[in-house]
Amino acid sequence: MKVWTVVNQKGGVGKTTSTISIAGSLSAQGYKVLLLDLDPHASLTYYLGFDAENLTSSLYDVFCQTPSEPFDIKQALQATKIKNVGLLPSHIALSTLDKRFGTAPGKGLVIKKALEQLGSQFDIAIIDCPPVLGVLMVNGLVAANAIVVPTQTEYLALRGLDRMLQTLEQLKPTLQDEVLTLVVATLFDRRVNACLASYTKMRDNYKAHMWRGYIPVDTKFRDASQQGLPINMIVKDSRGAFAYDKLTNELLKYAA
């Protein structure tokens, strides 16, 4: 199983939207996909129709296990309405982990090890990270074969991207050797000058990591989230669905 981690220290840039949209695209192509919601806000979990506060098991249990009381990750697994897509849901208690574990050794490997238990049940796992550098994000990054960094095409988001890439550089010794890092321009509106300027700057400054396409602003994403489904299951021929299909194919080419 390959692991794709969707991450950015900046909030609201399209991480959760990218996670669900890539999953939709993979599902349509027949892949078995496991989604992990590592954000204590549980946006992805709610998106998929689960009430994160009332689930009996979640990714939190994976972090709380001990050698004498191991937790089988399969216990937290939920089936979703999307064909061949499973979910390991979030819980608000995930927000307490930084305080509890801080920089405790080995705590960055919890998710990587837990995924190894699943063997070949899924083809690709996609991890949705919180916009906070801490134990959860580190766990997502350490497990990754590909790191997808959605970046909104606007001035402030570019500063956030600098910070995120610095973080990746600092963590490099703990990341997988062949990890692919792909910066993805999101919420792009070609009619808006500020968007165009940011997009051009991104392509100039981050050439080594930039995906050549972009994700356009598309109101169909809102319709999709209202229905708890990926955009390609709502409007297959929308610009947004088409863009995420292209991104998914790029990831399949280099990290599957």
Ligand X SMILES: Nc1ncnc2c1ncn2[C@@H]1O[C@H](COP(=O)(O)OP(=O)(O)OP(=O)(O)O)[C@@H](O)[C@H]1O
**Nearest 5°: phi and psi at 184?**
-120, 120
Please give the Cα distance from 138 to 86 (Å, whole number). 22
CB of 16 to Mg ion, least distance (A): 3
CB of 203 to Mg ion, least distance (A): 25
Cβ-based nearer residue to ligand X, 71 or 80: 80
Q: Write down the residue that tokens 């078995």 correspond to.
A: 32
CB of 130 to ligand X, least distance (A): 7
CB of 104 to Mg ion, least distance (A): 26
Site residues for Mg ion, 26-55, by CB under 5 A, read 43
Work out what residue 20 binds among Mg ion, ligand X, none; the CB cut-off runs from 5 to 8 Å by kind.
none
Burial class (CB in 10 A: 0-12, 13-18, 19+), 226: exposed
Site for ligand X, rule CB under 6 A: 11-17, 39, 43, 131, 186-187, 215, 217-218, 221-222, 225, 240
Cβ-based nearer residue to Mg ion, 43 or 145: 43
5 binds Mg ion (CB under 5 A): no
Name the nearest CA neighbour of 251 among 153, 144, 157: 144
Return the axis-axis angle of helices 220-227 and 15-28, rounded to nearest 10°.
80
Work out what residue 14 binds among ligand X, Mg ion, none; the CB cut-off runs from 5 to 8 Å by kind.
ligand X
Can you say whether the dihedral through the CA atoms of 138, 143, 144, 145 is positive or negative? positive
Q: What residues line the site for Mg ion (CB under 5 A)?
A: 15-16, 43
